[in-house]
């Protein structure tokens, strides 16, 4: 008997999970990922369609042709076996190493090579980026709330995590800037090197 149950990869589970949450076509899956978990994981079209084929072959989803007009479309629903496979994956005790991949943090790490102004600018970029992310995440909150009303409360949790940790990053940026100004003041520069709107308020 040929073993056809070599472990699925992460993209396939992501696709499976999205179908469970109601995404029907490959196109909808992509959209749903962009509107939700994109913050923690991405997937490209070139991964989605082969994943769907694989899931169908394994009987974890059922697909049927459901064109809109003459526009071809294949829609999918999760099967009982699919639900089981998803639960198995979710419950599997496997290492989940936390690994971020953020080039901005790498640049910040090396920022001592820059002069004061450029380093400040970089820090500002990072801070604004987090502010922008919070706005983006705020925009998807209604969708998460909607999911919660239908019994899926965990999307709301991951959304909050995203927001919380950008808030945390902003706070660290602010603290760091304030400390820098203090240092400068201590070194005898009564007015810290010009940086936009930060006045030298007395303690």
**Residue 46 interacting entry, from DNA, a copy of itself, none, C-beta within 5 to 8 Å by type:** DNA
Taking the complex as a whole, the smallest distance from the CB of residue 164 to DNA amounts, in Å, to: 24
Taking the complex as a whole, the smallest distance from the CB of residue 133 to DNA amounts, in Å, to: 18
Determine contact, residues 12/65, Cβ cutoff 8 Å.
no
Nearest in space to 53 (alpha carbons), one of 26, 83, 24: 26
Query: Of 1, 40, 64, 71, which one interacts with DNA (CB under 7 A)?
Result: 71
Nearest in space to 60 (alpha carbons), one of 29, 18, 96: 18
Candidates 8-16, 132-140, 161-169, 183-191; binding stretch for DNA (CB under 7 A): 8-16
Cα–Cα distance, 36 to 21 (Å, whole number): 11
**Residue 25 interacting entry, from DNA, a copy of itself, none, C-beta within 5 to 8 Å by type:** DNA
Cα–Cα distance, 137 to 156 (Å, whole number): 11
Give the alpha-carbon dihedral of 13, 46, 101, 134, to 10 degrees.
-80
Structure tokens given for 119:
């380093």
**Residue 96 interacting entry, from DNA, a copy of itself, none, C-beta within 5 to 8 Å by type:** a copy of itself
Contact between 89 and DNA (CB under 7 A)?
no
Q: What character string, x for contact with DNA (CB under 7 A) and - otherwise, covers 12-31?
A: -------------xxxx--x
Q: Which helix (H) or strand (E) holds 76?
A: strand 74-78
Binding site for DNA (CB under 7 A): 9-11, 25-28, 31, 42-47, 49-50, 52-53, 68-75
């Amino acid at each position: 008997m040929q073993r056809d149950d070599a472990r699925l990869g992460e993209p396939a589970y992501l696709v499976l999970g999205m179908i469970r949450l109601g995404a029907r076509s490959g196109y909808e899956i992509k959209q749903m990922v962009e509107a939700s978990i994109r913050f923690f994981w991405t997937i490209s079209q070139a991964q989605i369609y082969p994943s769907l084929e694989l899931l169908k072959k394994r009987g974890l989803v059922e697909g049927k042709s459901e064109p809109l007009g003459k526009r071809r479309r294949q829609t999918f629903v999760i099967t009982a076996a699919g639900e089981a496979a998803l639960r198995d994956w979710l419950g599997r005790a496997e290492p989940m190493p936390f690994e971020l991949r953020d080039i901005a943090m790498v640049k910040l790490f090396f920022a001592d090579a820059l002069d004061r102004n450029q380093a400040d600018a970089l820090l500002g970029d990072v801070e604004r980026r987090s502010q922008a992310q919070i706005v983006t995440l705020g925009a998807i909150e209604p969708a998460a709330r909607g999911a919660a009303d239908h019994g899926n409360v965990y999307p709301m949790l991951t959304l909050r995590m995203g927001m919380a940790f950008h808030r945390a990053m902003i706070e660290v940026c602010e603290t760091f800037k304030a400390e820098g100004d203090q240092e400068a003041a201590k070194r005898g520069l009564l007015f810290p090197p010009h940086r936009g709107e930060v006045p030298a308020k007395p303690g």
